[in-house]
Homo-oligomer: A and B are copies of this chain.
């Protein structure tokens, strides 16, 4: 293993073959772990009728990094599967909202833990599972539930992906990844659920074996393409949290 490097030369190359209609997940929770550079490349690439799986859209804050809300605004998106389809602060209006309200884009709202577990299930060959989350709420209306040991649970299905776009801190040529701090978030989970995982990486790609087997966060078998993020301004990097423009 690891005889051939998974490193590609550019973000453009990494997304070049993505067809219209793909289901693509994007890692990241706030700034850390968000694949800004791959999002930018996908904006340039122009694939259409996409389904976007992520925690949230971003976009209420200014100035804006390339975020998946821009894919919506760019007319590339048919549907989103997110834990937030509105901002946490009801006074913030997301750029996404008008596309959703007009019916141009469809949305499935999924509790964050259920989203993570549905992705994990897809990667781990579990087609469906029961969870206590959302029982008794509007999200459970008309859906199948089951009482187990006296408690009511909701049936949830795996969420398989065509592509996962993720960001890591360090990688070796075999695709083994490490994340720094809360950069980890959804990234390792999405990597297992995708037919093709593309990682943008903070540091230069190391030779296979340079990350000790005990120190790997995501095994290389889940990672298909690697691109190193160039220094700013060419490459996009997390910045300090911006004050909200009110």
Seen from chain A, the residues whose Cβ lies within 8 Å of a Cβ on chain B are 117, 121, 124-132, 146, 148-149, 151, 153, 157, 178-181, 184, 213-215, 217
- A181-B214, A214-B178 given as contacts; is B127 within 8 A of A127 (CB)? no
Please tell me how many copies of the chain the complex holds. Answer: 2
Instruction: Give the one of A179, A181, A213, A214 with max B CB within 10 A.
Output: A214
Task: Let me know if A130 and B128 touch, CB within 8 A.
Answer: yes
By a CB distance below 8 angstroms, the chain B residues around A146 are 128
Which of B153, B157, B181 lies in contact with A213, CB distance below 8 A? Answer: B181
Known: A127-B148, A128-B148, A178-B214. 15 other contacts (CB 8 A): A117-B124, A121-B129, A125-B131, A125-B132, A126-B131, A127-B130, A127-B132, A127-B151, A128-B129, A128-B130, A128-B146, A128-B153, A129-B129, A214-B217, A215-B215
